[in-house]
Amino acid sequence: MKIIIAMPKQTQIGLGLAAIGRPEYINIKKEEIAQSETVFRANAMQVLDDAYRFGVRYFDVAPSYGKGEQFLIDWHTLRSYPDVNLSTKWGYTYMANWELGYRGKHEIKEHSLSKLQEQWEVSQVLLPELKIYQVHSATLDSGIFTNTEALQELHRIKKKTGMQIGVSTSGANQVEIIEMALKVQVEGEPLFTSFQVTYNVFEQSTFKILNQLLSDNKTVIIKEALANGRVFENKDFPKYSEAYTYFKFLAKQYNVGIDAVAIRFIIDSLEPQVVLSGALTSDQLQDNLKALSFQLTEAERHQLQIFASETESYWAERSALAWR
């Protein structure tokens, strides 16, 4: 086995609570735990405690993550760690109400001033450790970039708290959304300085603009590093067969899991400030954190870049994934 001592990187692995706060989420590979609120709450407290113990200091959530934001509020109130960096979002409401097999939309988007004020009233409890407040899945047609009242309110929050205001993005037009966000100014200054973006082995369309953001000292947070579980071998995705073979080769070579290889690719190819782990359990998080124990060679990184999917195809495939 080849052993490489990894040089320290600026990138940290943070914990996103999308899967921790609700019983069903868009994820192919999922650890099975009892799908009750009591069990999920106990698991969330355990994972948050373990994450801190493992060295994780960045935690990301949203009101639409079921009980996720409340779990983080309760944990942070109990522990009161002053050295954590927290981020949350506004603009989506959780609708499934813990109903397994819910047939409607699990999340409803609303980028209105009233929704911002309603959700900020709860989220601000995380201050002063709340460092980034984000528009949840900003899109060109949600109206956020032309909603003067909401933008001014975000600017007011920014000035009052000193937080960064950010956007999270999804979909085939992530680049356009980022470009639009960069144009938004309030009182003569850029509003958005943080960008939470999907980027992984199979979805690399944002690589160029993310590099530009980093060069311009903007904050870049990467989500869906494991492509909602698609990096794990799955017979339903035969087009990824060559990637699966190479993932297994690298995992064996570095004595880590495929998840760690996928996360390490993001660190070595982009070096964002944060890559979010979407772990549901402490064991999954520990496996993800092994990405910090090695470094890919340039040749290995280039080989993984070859596996990028066509953008429209990637997002169409994601849209077809079931909540489970």
In tens, the pLDDT along 221-265 reads 999 999 999 999 999 999 999 999 999 999 999 999 999 999 999
What is the average pLDDT across 44-55?
Answer: 97
Q: Is pLDDT above 60 for 192?
A: yes
| Burial of 184: CB neighbours in 10 Å, binned 0-12, 13-18, 19+ | middle
pLDDT band for position 5 (cuts 50, 70, 90):
very low
In tens, the pLDDT along 88-97 reads 999 988 776 6
Measured CA to CA, the distance from residue 218 to residue 294 in angstroms comes to 26
What is the average pLDDT across 13-40?
Answer: 80
In tens, the pLDDT along 302-312 reads 999 999 999 99
Query: What pLDDT was estimated at residue 191?
Result: 98
Query: What pLDDT was estimated at residue 100?
Result: 65
In tens, the pLDDT along 115-141 reads 999 999 999 999 999 999 999 999 988
Cross-strand bridge partners of residue 133: 88, 165
In tens, the pLDDT along 53-97 reads 999 999 999 999 989 999 999 999 999 999 999 999 999 887 766
DSSP codes of every residue in 251-269: HHHHTS-HHHHHHHHHHHH
Mean pLDDT of the chain: 92
Query: What pLDDT was estimated at residue 35?
Result: 77
Query: What pLDDT was estimated at residue 265?
Result: 98
Q: Is pLDDT above 60 for 6?
A: no
Query: What pLDDT was estimated at residue 141?
Result: 87
Query: What pLDDT was estimated at residue 98?
Result: 64
Query: What pLDDT was estimated at residue 37?
Result: 86
Q: Is pLDDT above 70 for 27?
A: no
Residues with Cβ within 8 Å of 135's Cβ and at least 6 positions away in sequence, in order, are 89, 90, 91, 111, 144, 154, 165, 166, 167, 168, 192
User: Smallest Cα–Cα separation from 47: which of 27, 24, 19, 26?
Assistant: 19
